Structure 1
Amino acid sequence: MPDGGTGRPRGGRTGDGPARFTAREAVALLADDFHELASPTAEYAPDGPLSWQGYDDSRARAAARTGEQESVVCGTATVGGTKGGGGDNGVGGTRAVLISFEFGFLGGSLGERTGDRLEAAYTYAREHSLPVVSLIATGGSRMQEGMRALAQLQRVARQSVLTREARLPQLAVLRDPTTGGGWATLGAGADVILALPGAQVGFAGARVRPQDADPYAYTAEAQLEAGAIDAVVAPDRLRAEVALWLELLTTVDPATERVAPPPPRALAATPLPRTGWDAVQQARAPERPRAQAYLDAYFTRRAAISGDRCGGADPGMVCGFGKHDGRTVAYAAQCGTATRPAGFRTAARLVRLAGRLGIPVLTLVDTPGAANDAEAERAAAGAAIADLFAAVAASPVSITSLVIGEGGSGGALALAAPDNTWATPDSYFSVIAPELAAAILKRPGDEIRSTADQLRLRPQDLAELGVVRGIVEQAPEQTR
């Protein structure tokens, strides 16, 4: 890496470029009571492990310029609280281990001593049962240390895995720039990934990517569209956003992870359908309450994850965590559209994360079925659906499901909890849509309605067949 230096004012912008912050300025975006951890005492041999001529001088200049002795600063703080606000969750915020990169120190590059600090920070987090928040700004591994520097990525990955096994959440905030191994380990490996607007984010840094590459593809906004990060958050909103995430993911009672969350009440004052076709028409009614209305009514506040981490995002599947009656509940909800492979993968990611953290899950079923176009097949729709089926089947926490609209075939069933699925009066659940069933059976169009009756897809039919546990009552405000 070069000596470093951003070429931009600290904490500010140059032209249309994104804001850049020093390591400690980035920490100040989140907390006021940062306490730095003691740094490991190991020293480099003269000019490092490769005896790279001038390396000692480069590090000395970087230290003089930034006031830091390495490219990362680690400590603890109460995120969301004010100075002296205490260390417990709640109004005082959440105590966490913060890892903040100093890009002005050799481009925020990772060397052996950087690895020492990261390992010590992760170890401290596990010893004190604290979540980890990484504020990343790095150009990658430090060339002056060669493969010894690159090997730090394996070291970081190991620490992340151990922390994951300890059931502690990991959050990443991507600053400008976040590239190379720092993105591919601390960044992309986090449970929740936020980014500052306009931040350069990508495995390939600006000096090594193809000259004709589209620069937009290497931005935080493009990574959000590609399902690689969860949200782009302005600096003045970052403290509140991270504080909410930490509260949601850490206020978990292990004694209640097997206690199923109650299903939401029905939001529409809709009578039970007389016929199968009535059920289909009620579920397809444009005015019927959708997932967002149910989530708004169920949760006092919530935060969303986005994307499947495989290159896709499906706006028809919304996932995240929220507070219901003071308890954190994860949610995955279909929004009435044909669910795409990215949607199934995002839901599976949500279910597995909730299971690891001991957080029960609510799913809302509402889809005519899985997307079946050529693009969906190229994106491995079958594998994505299978992955969600497996995630739900293997979940160590309780899952509650509510069918709020259309329950179309396997694309709907994949999101439904075995033995704990409920239905609203304005919903249906079917092995296949009645129109498609008639087509497969080579029936004329005028037999679609009778086919709907034969499928026994009404909520009361589903309860009688044992497919759902029951039909939820209408919310009190809907019955007045």
Structure 2
Amino acid sequence: MSWLNRGRARITAMLERRDTPDNLWTKCKNCGTMLYSRDFAANLYVCTACNHHERVGAAIRFALTFDDGVFERITVAASTADDPLKFRDQKRYPERLKAARAATQEGDALALATGRVGGVKAVVGVQDFAFMGGSMGIGVGDAFVAGAKAALAGKMPFVMFTAAGGARMQEGILSLMQMPRATVAISMLREAKLPYVVVLTDPTTGGVTASYAMLGDVQIAEPGALIGFAGARVIESTIREKLPEGFQRAEYLLAHGMLDMVVPRAELAAVLGRTLGMLMKQPVAA
């Protein structure tokens, strides 16, 4: 290549970098279609080509769920020990926590807020898979209990959006102890006759599925969400059989009685509002 062509290539690359924002296009993780980012956001982060529901964080989920996007965050006290077991693999656990907090701007994998959903005052919890795979540790357990207590104090329903790879391995047995903690908190809601509604999003697996994700009074899921305990390959190797098509997806679970409904993201806020209104015996907002 001559010096003239090399110079032209460098100038072209500089202009392209300057004129084209890095986030102008988004590639669908399911079908690979290139989507204009502004249109993708306007479609609530759902692929227009294959209807894949992309994972979203707490801030977006709260804005989509609460009436007019108005809500108030519930602060959860910081855990007394970020690294109770002094765990280290390729990195120290506190380093992983610091990176996750910087990337998501959240204190842990579960965030809480309160506001109105379809006119009904409610507490909403959102697990963010971007925070260490939405893994359940002491911080998540603390947040779940805090959400249940806020619902009890305000006589409000508790709506939980789940997204997790399971328990947080860096906290060992302490992470597994959050399963009975959450179960007891749900029992307290039941005793107070307050609804606990679960929305399972992609993916919801492991100890989260084995505890609070499957204990809702009403079980809802987004289309295509992966929901299960163990991975499909682990199950296949254990039972030595080929699993059915779509196994562990929301639609399969709905067909086999594990869910009450599968609701597209665009309709989810309205469905939640109607459901909470009926459960709380309040007028349903138009």
TM-score over 0.5 for the pair: yes
- Correspondence for 1:33: 70
The amino acid of 1:52's aligned partner reads F
How far the C-alpha of 1:49 sits from its partner, in A, is 2.0
- Correspondence for 1:388: none
Counterparts in 2 of 1:14 and 1:179: CA distance versus 1, 3 Å: farther
1:128-139 matches, within 5 Å, as 128-139=154-165
Q: Are 1:150 and 2:157 matched, yes or no?
A: no
- For the residue of structure 2 that corresponds to 1:110, the secondary structure is coil
Is the 8 Å Cα contact of residues 79 and 243 (structure 1) preserved in structure 2? yes
Counterparts in 2 of 1:49 and 1:160: CA distance versus 1, 3 Å: same
Candidates 31, 37, 55, aligned match of 1:20: 55
How far the C-alpha of 1:61 sits from its partner, in A, is 1.2
Counterparts in 2 of 1:134 and 1:198: CA distance versus 1, 3 Å: same
Counterparts in 2 of 1:56 and 1:169: CA distance versus 1, 3 Å: same
- For the residue of structure 1 that corresponds to 2:269, the secondary structure is helix
Q: Are 1:181 and 2:189 matched, yes or no?
A: no
CA–CA distance in structure 1, aligned partners of residues 211 and 107 of structure 2: 22
Counterparts in 2 of 1:208 and 1:36: CA distance versus 1, 3 Å: farther
CA–CA distance in structure 1, aligned partners of residues 180 and 245 of structure 2: 29
Is the 8 Å Cα contact of residues 122 and 159 (structure 1) preserved in structure 2? yes
CA–CA distance in structure 1, aligned partners of residues 184 and 63 of structure 2: 28
CA–CA distance in structure 1, aligned partners of residues 115 and 233 of structure 2: 35
Q: Deviations over 1:397-424 (max 9, x none)?
A: xxxxxxxxxxxxxxxxxxxxxxxxxxxx
The amino acid of 1:249's aligned partner reads L
CA–CA distance in structure 1, aligned partners of residues 63 and 210 of structure 2: 25
Is the 8 Å Cα contact of residues 23 and 103 (structure 1) preserved in structure 2? no
Candidates 257, 273, 282, aligned match of 1:227: 257
Counterparts in 2 of 1:202 and 1:215: CA distance versus 1, 3 Å: farther
Q: Deviations over 1:335-367 (max 9, x none)?
A: xxxxxxxxxxxxxxxxxxxxxxxxxxxxxxxxx
Candidates 275, 280, 284, aligned match of 1:245: 275
The amino acid of 1:187's aligned partner reads A
- For the residue of structure 2 that corresponds to 1:182, the secondary structure is helix
Is the 8 Å Cα contact of residues 133 and 165 (structure 2) preserved in structure 1? yes
How far the C-alpha of 1:68 sits from its partner, in A, is 1.2
1:230-379 matches, within 5 Å, as 230-251=260-281
Is the 8 Å Cα contact of residues 62 and 113 (structure 2) preserved in structure 1? no
CA–CA distance in structure 1, aligned partners of residues 234 and 53 of structure 2: 20
- For the residue of structure 2 that corresponds to 1:228, the secondary structure is coil
- Correspondence for 2:18: none
Candidates 68, 71, 74, aligned match of 2:112: 74
Q: Is the radius of gyration larger for structure 1 or structure 2? A: 1
How far the C-alpha of 1:29 sits from its partner, in A, is 2.2
Is the 8 Å Cα contact of residues 167 and 207 (structure 2) preserved in structure 1? yes
Consecutive unaligned residues of structure 1, counting only runs of 5 or more, are 1-6, 81-92, 253-322, 327-480
- Correspondence for 2:146: 120
- Correspondence for 2:81: 44
CA–CA distance in structure 2, aligned partners of residues 218 and 14 of structure 1: 23
Q: Are 1:60 and 2:98 matched, yes or no?
A: yes
Is the 8 Å Cα contact of residues 172 and 193 (structure 1) preserved in structure 2? yes
Is the 8 Å Cα contact of residues 12 and 21 (structure 1) preserved in structure 2? no
Counterparts in 2 of 1:216 and 1:24: CA distance versus 1, 3 Å: same
How far the C-alpha of 1:216 sits from its partner, in A, is 1.2
CA–CA distance in structure 2, aligned partners of residues 125 and 144 of structure 1: 30
- For the residue of structure 2 that corresponds to 1:217, the secondary structure is coil
CA–CA distance in structure 2, aligned partners of residues 250 and 229 of structure 1: 21
CA–CA distance in structure 2, aligned partners of residues 23 and 160 of structure 1: 21
Q: Deviations over 1:390-445 (max 9, x none)?
A: xxxxxxxxxxxxxxxxxxxxxxxxxxxxxxxxxxxxxxxxxxxxxxxxxxxxxxxx
Could you tell me the percent identity over the aligned residues? 34
- For the residue of structure 1 that corresponds to 2:162, the secondary structure is strand
* TM-score, normalization by structure 1: 0.46
When you count helix as a share of all residues, which structure comes out higher? 2
How far the C-alpha of 1:242 sits from its partner, in A, is 0.4
- Correspondence for 1:98: 124
Q: Are 1:141 and 2:167 matched, yes or no?
A: yes
Counterparts in 2 of 1:207 and 1:130: CA distance versus 1, 3 Å: farther
The amino acid of 1:19's aligned partner reads E
CA–CA distance in structure 2, aligned partners of residues 27 and 205 of structure 1: 29
Counterparts in 2 of 1:13 and 1:104: CA distance versus 1, 3 Å: farther
- Correspondence for 2:33: none
Is the 8 Å Cα contact of residues 205 and 230 (structure 2) preserved in structure 1? yes
Q: Deviations over 1:258-278 (max 9, x none)?
A: xxxxxxxxxxxxxxxxxxxxx
CA–CA distance in structure 1, aligned partners of residues 126 and 263 of structure 2: 17
* TM-score, normalization by structure 2: 0.76
Aligned CA-pair RMSD: 2.3
How far the C-alpha of 1:12 sits from its partner, in A, is 4.4
Counterparts in 2 of 1:218 and 1:14: CA distance versus 1, 3 Å: farther
Aligned length: 234
Consecutive unaligned residues of structure 2, counting only runs of 5 or more, are 1-27, 30-36
How far the C-alpha of 1:72 sits from its partner, in A, is 0.5
CA–CA distance in structure 2, aligned partners of residues 214 and 251 of structure 1: 40
Is the 8 Å Cα contact of residues 12 and 20 (structure 1) preserved in structure 2? no
